[in-house]
Amino acid sequence: MRNEFLALGLAAMLAGCATEPAGTAVEPSSRYAFWRPAPVAGAPDPNAAVSEAPADAWRPIDPADLLVMELKEGGRVVIELAPEFAPVHVANIRALARGGWWNGAAVYRVQDNYVAQWGNNEAPVPMPAGVVKAPPAEYDRPLAGLSVRPLGFPDAYAPMVGHSGGWPVGYDPEGGRAWLAHCYGMVGVGRDLAPDTGTGGELYAVIGHAPRHLDLNIALIGRVIEGMGLLSARARGTEALGFYKEPALHVGIARIRLAADIPAAERPAFEVLRSDSDSFSRFVTGRANRGGDFFQRPAGGVDLCNALVPVRKKQ
Amino acid sequence: MRNEFLALGLAAMLAGCATEPAGTAVEPSSRYAFWRPAPVAGAPDPNAAVSEAPADAWRPIDPADLLVMELKEGGRVVIELAPEFAPVHVANIRALARGGWWNGAAVYRVQDNYVAQWGNNEAPVPMPAGVVKAPPAEYDRPLAGLSVRPLGFPDAYAPMVGHSGGWPVGYDPEGGRAWLAHCYGMVGVGRDLAPDTGTGGELYAVIGHAPRHLDLNIALIGRVIEGMGLLSARARGTEALGFYKEPALHVGIARIRLAADIPAAERPAFEVLRSDSDSFSRFVTGRANRGGDFFQRPAGGVDLCNALVPVRKKQ
């Protein structure tokens, strides 16, 4: 078994070295094949893995880590913050929420297959005291101190990918660094050119195929866990980068608050499936090996952004 | 050089074998790292690679391979068909268009981060003569006969990925098979359970992160090359799988025609960058190694669905 494995792996290694002339017909041979695990027969149903997860496989989200955006038209977008990855930016965001900085702000940019972005960019507003104007480049952090569950499948962008504390991460075991990945629904900090890292006032959510080339180049601060459709189903802006041409198209934000600042009776509450739980491992195996009546051929793999950690409203 | 390569590759091979206990802290070590190419310094700007492509790097799309959907509310969605991958389904789709089968149909399902789907599912209409009711499972095809440009980066779903004739494909050099990949904007054939493969009457477009687990399980027949926002920016359906609860939410389709059946003066015309051109190779290298003033750290890789072949209106 190990020998077969080695032989296939050697072919995989040589694959990346070869430079294939453009337009050459590819013959059936293994010389380009990258190594990946084999499909798993009889894998768990991923939805059942979640619905059957025991109570202790879930962790509650701290109300200080929940950002609640209410739109003027009605509807609510809830974002889980990731202070363990971008502490200065998250502290800024908490200060901006507490200072009411986004109350009256707007979604002003929606670019198809990319991002929806909001803040006060189109009509600047002074920031409350305590906001760090030039935060450090919180694009990655030490791997040490995290408990990462390796995904187990190859990735085009990072040496390794997996999940830590419920977050999709890329990491480099050699260099000892880890970073959040730009999956669907992840929220990042708009910025200008280097060395600007943005304050956290202008935020965007990914609404298309994961733009992973942004990883390590922008501070990600969390992810949308409720109300994605209120951002993703917007008319696309017609200006460059999806900015709305007419201010009338802006989507008004009534207010953004931390859940911790909302009276307990009205406060939304959520739980995340622990990414170090057996239930999450069953979920990943199931996502990588879809079965049931519909699927004829399981892939034997799943990419990081198709294995996002399940979240549910707290009962 | 080759020796370093082998050493890293051996680590990569062993990676997939190891079973990491859930919750174990990962130490900085290379034992899990999958092999991937190094970043390229001074890579081309991908947009410039396209804008500077010579005229002979572009191929016109045959009007018989262009499906033009007009919405009752106004607006047009144009789909390039892929007869080389799903000939029976594409023949069905041409017959349905020529028979006017979709005129009066609707978009009846929009599921966030997944698909928008249209047809006559909610109000069945008899099909014109000549439509094959039970097409074969055109989920893959022989690799022989295609000219595939290997992407050059690892993939979680397929042994190899690349581009052939402008299409994003997965392929298996050992088994000699190739298949279209479920990238953003790709269009597939809705079906019921096996062995049903769908006629081609009910179609969907991918509007979120690539659901690659559907590869090899559904017939893909093309991709949207104009008007994606008319599908992706729709209110999400609130029923299971994103079906609209109220028929009033259905998005009416005025008609769907082949460009070949539209008078020449009104006929839309598009060109695709040849995926076997040097310009496309420069585009891929640039997408994998973003530079310029904004990007601080190029990824050194790109995934298949972030390297879709550029299309432009024909001058």
* Cβ within 8 Å of B, A 230-259: 232-236
Q: Picking from A212-216, B8-12, B54-58, B177-181, which range would have the lowest pLDDT averaged per residue?
A: B8-12
* Cβ within 8 Å of B, A 264-293: 276-278, 280-281, 287, 290, 293
* Cβ within 8 Å of A, B 151-170: 151-160, 162
Q: Give A108's DSSP letter.
A: E
Whole-angstrom distance between the N-terminal and C-terminal Cα of chain A? 47
Asked if A217 lies within 8 A of B296 by C-beta distance, the reply is yes
CA-based nearest distance A58→chain B, Å? 14
**Residue of B5, B26, B211 with shortest CB distance to A173:** B26
Chain B hits for A35, CB-CB cut-off 8 Å, are 12-13, 16, 34-35
- Hey, what are B126's tokens? 């008899």
B8 or B47: which carries more pLDDT confidence? B47
Note whether B139 contacts A: Cβ–Cβ < 8 A.
yes
User: With bands split at pLDDT 50, 70 and 90, how would you rate the model's confidence at B5?
Assistant: very low
DSSP collapsed to 3 states, chain B: CHHHHHHHHHHHHHHHHCCCCCCCCCCCCCCCCCCCCCCCCCCCCHHHHHHCCCHHHEEECCHHHEEEEEECCCCEEEEEECCCCCHHHHHHHHHHHHCCCCCCCEEEEECCCCEEEEECCCCCCCCCCCCCCCCCCCCCEECCCCCEEECCCCCCCCCEEEEECCEEEEEECCCCEEEECCCCCEEEECCCCCCCCCCCCCEEEECCCCCHHHCCCCCEEEEEEECCHHHHCCCCCCCHHHECCCHHHCEEEEEEEEHHHCCCCCCCCEEEECCCCHHHHHHHHHHHCCCCCCCCCCCCCCCHHHCCCCEEECC
CA-based nearest distance B196→chain A, Å? 10
Note whether B305 contacts A: Cβ–Cβ < 8 A.
yes
Mean pLDDT score, B74-88: 98
Asked if A13 lies within 8 A of B5 by C-beta distance, the reply is yes
Q: How far apart are CA B82 and CA A275, in angstroms?
A: 40
Which of B85, B64, B67 minimizes the C-alpha distance to B76? B67
Chain B hits for A175, CB-CB cut-off 8 Å, are 28
Walk along chain A (315 residues) and give the pLDDT tens digit of each residue: 222 222 233 333 333 333 333 334 433 334 446 777 788 888 999 999 999 999 999 999 999 999 999 999 999 999 999 999 999 999 999 999 999 999 999 999 999 999 999 999 999 999 999 999 999 999 999 999 999 999 999 999 999 999 999 999 999 988 999 999 999 999 999 999 988 999 999 999 999 999 999 999 999 999 999 999 999 999 999 999 999 999 999 999 999 999 999 999 999 999 999 999 999 999 999 999 999 989 989 999 999 999 999 999 997
Task: Identify the burial level of B51 via C-beta atoms within 10 angstroms of its C-beta, where 0-12 means exposed, 13-18 middle and 19 or more buried.
Answer: exposed
Q: How far apart are CA A82 and CA A267, in angstroms?
A: 19
Specify the residue for token string 């477009």. Answer: B205
Mean pLDDT score, B19-31: 38
Q: What is the pLDDT of residue B149?
A: 95
* Cβ within 8 Å of B, A 53-92: none
Residue of A nearest to B137 (CA): A296
Residue B7, pLDDT > 80, answer: no
Q: What is the pLDDT of residue B28?
A: 36
Q: What is the pLDDT of residue B39?
A: 87
CA-based nearest distance B144→chain A, Å? 7
User: With bands split at pLDDT 50, 70 and 90, how would you rate the model's confidence at B275?
Assistant: very high
Residue of A nearest to B159 (CA): A33
Provide the whole-model pTM.
Answer: 0.91
Asked if A139 lies within 8 A of B296 by C-beta distance, the reply is yes
Q: Which residues of A157-180 are buried (b: 16+ CB within 10 A; e: fewer)?
A: bbbbbbbbbbbbbbbbbeeebbbb
Q: What is the pLDDT of residue A203?
A: 98
**Residue of B27, B158, B232 with shortest CB distance to A112:** B232
Chain B hits for A151, CB-CB cut-off 8 Å, are 156
Note whether B10 contacts A: Cβ–Cβ < 8 A.
yes
- Give pLDDT tens digits for B135-145: 999 999 999 99
Note whether B210 contacts A: Cβ–Cβ < 8 A.
yes
Specify the residue for token string 């101190």. Answer: A145
- Give pLDDT tens digits for B115-132: 999 999 999 999 999 999
Q: Give A59's DSSP letter.
A: E
Note whether B302 contacts A: Cβ–Cβ < 8 A.
yes
B48 or B38: which carries more pLDDT confidence? B48
**Residue of B12, B174, B234 with shortest CB distance to A28:** B174
**Dihedral sign (CA B267, B268, B271, B272):** negative
Mean pLDDT of chain B: 90
CA-based nearest distance B238→chain A, Å? 11
User: With bands split at pLDDT 50, 70 and 90, how would you rate the model's confidence at B288?
Assistant: very high
Residue B267, pLDDT > 90, answer: yes
Residue B21, pLDDT > 50, answer: no
Q: Is the interface score ipTM higher than 0.95?
A: no
Q: How far apart are CA B241 and CA B193, in angstroms?
A: 15
Q: What is the pLDDT of residue B33?
A: 64
- Best to test chain A binding among B184, B209, B238, B274 (most A CBs inside 10 Å): B209
Note whether B136 contacts A: Cβ–Cβ < 8 A.
no
Mean pLDDT score, B82-110: 98
- Give pLDDT tens digits for B227-258: 999 999 999 999 999 999 999 999 999 999 99
